[in-house]
């Protein structure tokens, strides 16, 4: 299955290492969720100011956040999209949706949680893919628990755990 992950950036820094990580993480998440239709996922890397503006314009929320997800379709959690003719006629890919990640916020949270930016970016990407596939965490109950369990399982598949050592050399970061 060849899913396409398109990464663009509003940042000055070299984002090539993030593009490689995001491609691997997003494709693994789609495979883990048994998505058998070739999909396209668009990712925008930005900073807190950029995500703040998008959050305000798209959701009416006047603050930055770590990740935003904009699904193109409504799916039920655990029920992957089927080949139903919604593919882009030019590419043959199902446009699953868009995600926006603040690398600035990911750096801060990676440091705060003690696992570094690489794990944080991977977590945010998996979290967003699950939103694109219909998962949500509007309550503190079973829906959130289901989503958290899937996130940890997918990150575990990638060998990206909460126990990642600090001080690793991470793309675009200081190694925190």
Q: Which domains does the chain have, with CATH numbers?
A: 4-157 (3.40.390.30)
Give the span between the Cα atoms of 72 and 37, in whole angstroms. Answer: 14
Say what the pLDDT of residue 171 is. Answer: 35
83 — pLDDT class (breaks 50, 70, 90): confident
Query: 64 by DSSP, 3-state: which?
Result: coil
Stretch 41-45: mean pLDDT: 98
Encode pLDDT of 8-20 as tens digits. 999 999 999 999 9
Taking each helix axis from N to C end, the angle separating 16-32 and 142-157, rounded to the nearest 10 degrees, works out to 120
Count Cβ atoms below 10 Å from residue 127 Cβ, excluding itself.
Answer: 23
Instruction: Dump pLDDT digits (tens) for 116-148.
Output: 999 999 999 999 999 999 998 877 678 888 899
Whether 164 has a pLDDT exceeding 70, the answer reads no
Render pLDDT for 60-82 as a digit per residue (tens, 0 to 9): 999 999 999 999 999 998 898 88
Contact 136, 87 (CB under 8 A): no
Q: Is the pLDDT of residue 175 over 90?
A: no
Rg (CA), the chain: 16
């Amino acid at each position: 299955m060849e899913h396409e992950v398109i990464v663009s950036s509003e940042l000055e820094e070299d984002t090539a290492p993030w593009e490689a990580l995001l491609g691997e993480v997003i494709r693994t998440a789609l495979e883990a969720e048994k998505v058998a239709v070739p999909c396209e996922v668009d990712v925008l890397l930005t900073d807190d100011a950029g995500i703040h503006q998008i959050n305000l314009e798209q959701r009416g929320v006047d603050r930055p956040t770590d990740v935003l997800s904009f699904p193109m379709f409504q799916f039920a959690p655990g029920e992957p999209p089927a080949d139903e003719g919604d593919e882009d006629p030019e590419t043959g890919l199902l446009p699953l949706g868009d995600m926006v990640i603040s690398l600035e916020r990911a750096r801060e949270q990676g440091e705060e949680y003690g696992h570094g930016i690489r794990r944080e970016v991977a977590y945010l990407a998996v979290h967003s893919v699950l939103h694109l596939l219909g998962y949500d965490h509007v309550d503190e109950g079973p829906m959130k628990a289901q989503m958290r369990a899937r996130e940890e399982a997918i990150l575990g598949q990638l060998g990206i755990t909460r126990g990642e050592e600090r001080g690793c050399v991470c793309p675009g970061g200081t190694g925190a």
